[in-house]
Amino acid sequence: MREVGRTVELELIGVPSNSAGTLDGVARAPAALRRAGLAAALARAGRVHDAGDLPLQAPGPERDPASGLIGPGALAELIGAVRRVTRQALAAGRFPVVVGGDCPLLLGCLAAARDVHGRSGLLFVDGHEDAWPPRRSTTGEAADAELGLAIGRDGDDLPPDLAALLPLVAPGDVVLLGPRDAGELRDAGVPSLAGVVELHDADAVLAAGAGSLAAAAAARLRDRPGAWWFHVDLDVLATGALAAVDYRQPGGLGWEDLEAVTAAAVATPGLVGFDVTIYNPDLDPDGAAARRIAAYLGAAAAGLAAARA
């Protein structure tokens, strides 16, 4: 990462995507976060290059009978667009801050990290495991499946251009923090990623101390692949902390827990980029959640700048 004085160079990338095949909900998140002052919050920590919101193919809600996914063509375009702009930021020595939209944008981020750094790891913070076999997903949304796809699981029926990308990260280079959907997976007969990747559910994160557990996980990623990506799905938070998400569950982390995880992550060498997803501004009429998320991201950027000063 190139430093400018005592600042870092950040690249803000908006991804207005919704894998439900619509233009509403989470697809409106990047614009809402900008209105809430995100660029200014980041600029207090470093120089911000705003790549704007990526122009994406108009979606459609049809589910592909072969893969089981909604809009695999739009998904491939999304991954390619995120990959290109994120790779350009990384190659220029900037730190990408990618705001969505929903979780499949992670596949483009990981592809870019692989392009620039070769082997890379992933700290995946999410209220769900996101490894449903696409044909068994109850929704058909790629947001149900992106981590499974990233590690090369259940991609046999994907279109060739998507299948050729995978896997993007080795299971042994993934740490998953915060899921709380084990019961749902068990009831559906869907195999958990426990035992496939290093997984600490929400209860384990809270019991161990979010910051210390995240610091240890990030250190392992630093020592194994060296370069690694940080993904945060905001539905890792309890509904009382953030209600503006589509798929709510009991339990979850508080803001202070997520902030502790994030502080540990940005302080650990090897981190090359950060994405945040799943905020739905349609469920946030007064914009209070957007302002809270912008403040969270600003604090994360400040922690990154302090660690690299």
Residue 276 pLDDT grade (very low, low, confident, very high; cuts 50, 70, 90): very high
Q: What is the chain's mean pLDDT, rounded?
A: 95
Of all residues in the chain, what percent carry a pLDDT higher than 70?
98
Number of domains in the chain: 1
- Quote the pLDDT of residue 217: 97
Token pair, residue 233, equals 């799905």
Token pair, residue 80, equals 């390619």
Residue 163 pLDDT grade (very low, low, confident, very high; cuts 50, 70, 90): very high
- Quote the pLDDT of residue 282: 98
pLDDT at 35 over 60: yes
Residue 2 pLDDT grade (very low, low, confident, very high; cuts 50, 70, 90): very low
3-state secondary structure the chain: CCEECCEEEEEEEEECCCCCCCCCHHHHHHHHHHHCCHHHHHHCCEEEEEEEECCCCCCCCCECCCCCCECHHHHHHHHHHHHHHHHHHHHCCCEEEEEECCCCHHHHHHHHHHHHHCCEEEEEECCCCCCCCHHHCCCCCHHHCHHHHHCCCCCCCCCHHHHCCCCCCCHHHEEEECCCCHHHHHHHCCCCCECCEEEECHHHHHHHCHHHHHHHHHHHHHHCCCEEEEEEEHHHECCCCCCCCCCCCCCCECHHHHHHHHHHHHCCCCEEEEEEECCCHHHCCCCHHHHHHHHHHHHHHHHHHHHHC
Please state, in angstroms and rounded to a whole number, the distance separating the CA atoms of residues 145 and 157.
13
- Quote the pLDDT of residue 57: 83
Please state the rounded mean pLDDT for residues 196-203: 98
Residue 156 pLDDT grade (very low, low, confident, very high; cuts 50, 70, 90): confident
Q: Assess contact for 107 and 118: CB atoms under 8 A.
A: no
Residue with structure tokens 């996101």?
A: 130
Q: What's the pLDDT tens digit per position in 45-87?
A: 999 999 999 999 878 899 999 999 999 999 999 999 999 999 9
- Quote the pLDDT of residue 96: 98
Q: What letter represents residue 142's amino acid?
A: A
Q: What's the pLDDT tens digit per position in 223-248?
A: 999 999 999 999 999 999 999 999 99
Range of the domain at 170: 3-308
Of all residues in the chain, what percent carry a pLDDT higher than 90?
94
- Residue-level length of the chain: 309
- Quote the pLDDT of residue 192: 97
- Quote the pLDDT of residue 5: 41
CATH number at residue 48: 3.40.800.10
Q: Assess contact for 89 and 96: CB atoms under 8 A.
A: yes
Please state, in angstroms and rounded to a whole number, the distance separating the CA atoms of residues 40 and 12.
11
Please state, in angstroms and rounded to a whole number, the distance separating the CA atoms of residues 132 and 210.
26
- Quote the pLDDT of residue 48: 97
Residues pairing with 15 in the sheet: 100
pTM for this model (two decimals)? 0.96
